[in-house]
Amino acid sequence: MAKRLGKYTIMLDKKVYIHSYGAVVGKMEGQGPLGRQFDLIFDDTSMGEKSWEKAESALQKEALDTALKKGNLAPSDVDIVFSGDLLNQCIGSTFGMRNRDIPFLGLFGACSTMAQTLAAASVFIDGGGAQKCAAMTSSHFCSAERQFRYPLEYGGQRPPSAQWTVTGSGAVILSDVKPEASAATCIKSAVFGRISDLGIKDANNMGAAMAPAAAQTIIDYLSDTQTGQSCYDMIVTGDLGHVGSELMIDLLNREGVDLGAKYADCGLLIFDRNEQDVHSGGSGCGCSAAVVCSYILNALKGGQLNNVLFIGTGALMSPTSVQQGESIPAIAHLVHFSNE
């Protein structure tokens, strides 16, 4: 059974393996630096649907189908799906999975949802509650803009601190059985983060709101495990963007933690800020999901990386809380990927 290490870190007793994974994205994401890493790139981001929200559900279907196909699995092989998204009541996930006939747990962690579903599914498998789980999430630029900011028709100006919500979805099939490959990637440990709120109220500067939570979770994990950045090949956040990454680095440096060249951010990896008009970088649940379920897991599978800390970051706001002038609470969950 899983056990606590220190105050916040959960060490898994049973090996929880990455069985298969899939990442599907929209046209703009496919034109970015990681374009060749994705399984499917859709030029029509409406996915042939009548609304952006239905298009996001279609992305989740495609991501799960891709992961199942790559793993030679049928939907009936999956014991439970852990998924969530940015839309009210997580309708992107629930409507996407409503005809799949798989037990479902909806989770909300805003942009931290990929790390949250991975961590929750891993603990679930370790405890014997399932043998195979799907961990997934999604976001869509147009559905997020309509809900959190302004409809696209409004044509509002975006400040430099704003981030571009990724149109994409990622799905991972986790298993308690080692894949046939001689080297297999597993999840060794996880941290469920604490809520951090330093009073940021600007919905166009979510990187600043999320940076303290990311720094807090990284410090908690390194303290619990008595490890440093040199123990890992990459420490990747998702998705602080340029502004949030710089702030998090500064906060960590004040605590004597220097991530150095080992650090990366999914919001900065998925787009080319010099060539694509994304301002501070990428955001949205689908940002870290698409990057982890392509570039990161591909590198682990190929042996270019062997130990990766993935810290999913999320701004836990809603349209109602913003309209009421509330500050933006944030959270960061951590997952440790390791090659056996």
Q: How far apart are CA 317 and CA 53, in angstroms?
A: 19
The CATH number of 186-339, from 3.40.50.300, 3.90.45.10, 3.90.110.10, 3.40.47.40, is 3.40.47.40
pLDDT for res 203: 83
Q: How far apart are CA 109 and CA 330, in angstroms?
A: 9
What residue ranges in the chain does DSSP mark as E strands?
3-5, 9-26, 40-42, 80-84, 104-106, 132-139, 164-165, 168-175, 185-191, 234-238, 263-265, 282-283, 307-315, 330-339
Q: Which helix (H) or strand (E) holds 286?
A: helix 285-291
Series of mean pLDDT values for 10-residue runs along the chain (340 residues): 92 96 98 98 95 96 98 97 96 95 97 98 97 97 80 64 91 94 87 96 90 98 97 96 97 97 97 93 96 98 96 94 92 96
Question: CATH topology of 3-175 equal to that of 186-339?
Answer: yes
Q: Considering just the CA atoms, what is the radius of gyration of the chain in Å?
A: 18
What is the per-residue pLDDT across 181-227, written as a single tens digit (0 to 9) for each? Answer: 666 999 999 999 999 999 999 888 889 999 999 999 999 999 999 99
Please give the single-letter amino acid code of residue 109. Answer: G
pLDDT for res 150: 64
φ, ψ for residue 307 (rounded to 5)? Answer: -135, 115
259 near 229, Cβ under 8 Å? yes
Q: How far apart are CA 19 and CA 244, in angstroms?
A: 32
pLDDT for res 153: 60
Q: How far apart are CA 51 and CA 161, in angstroms?
A: 28
pLDDT for res 160: 67
317 near 203, Cβ under 8 Å? yes
257 near 222, Cβ under 8 Å? yes
241 near 267, Cβ under 8 Å? yes
Q: What is the largest CA-CA distance in the chain?
A: 54
Which residues does 57 contact at the CB level (< 8 Å), separation at least 6? 49, 91, 92, 93, 95, 96, 138
Assess whether the previous peptide bond of 197 is cis (omega < 30° from 0). no
Find tokens 């149109």 and name the residue.
167
Which residues does 261 contact at the CB level (< 8 Å), separation at least 6? none
What is the per-residue pLDDT across 40-66, written as a single tens digit (0 to 9) for each? Answer: 999 999 999 999 999 999 999 999 999
φ, ψ for residue 47 (rounded to 5)? Answer: 55, 25
Domain coordinates of the chain in residue numbers? 3-175, 186-339
Q: For domain 3-175, give the CATH number.
A: 3.40.47.40
Which residues does 149 contact at the CB level (< 8 Å), separation at least 6? 156, 203, 204
131 near 177, Cβ under 8 Å? yes
Q: How far apart are CA 287 and CA 238, in angstroms?
A: 7
| 238: Cα separation from own chain's centroid | 6
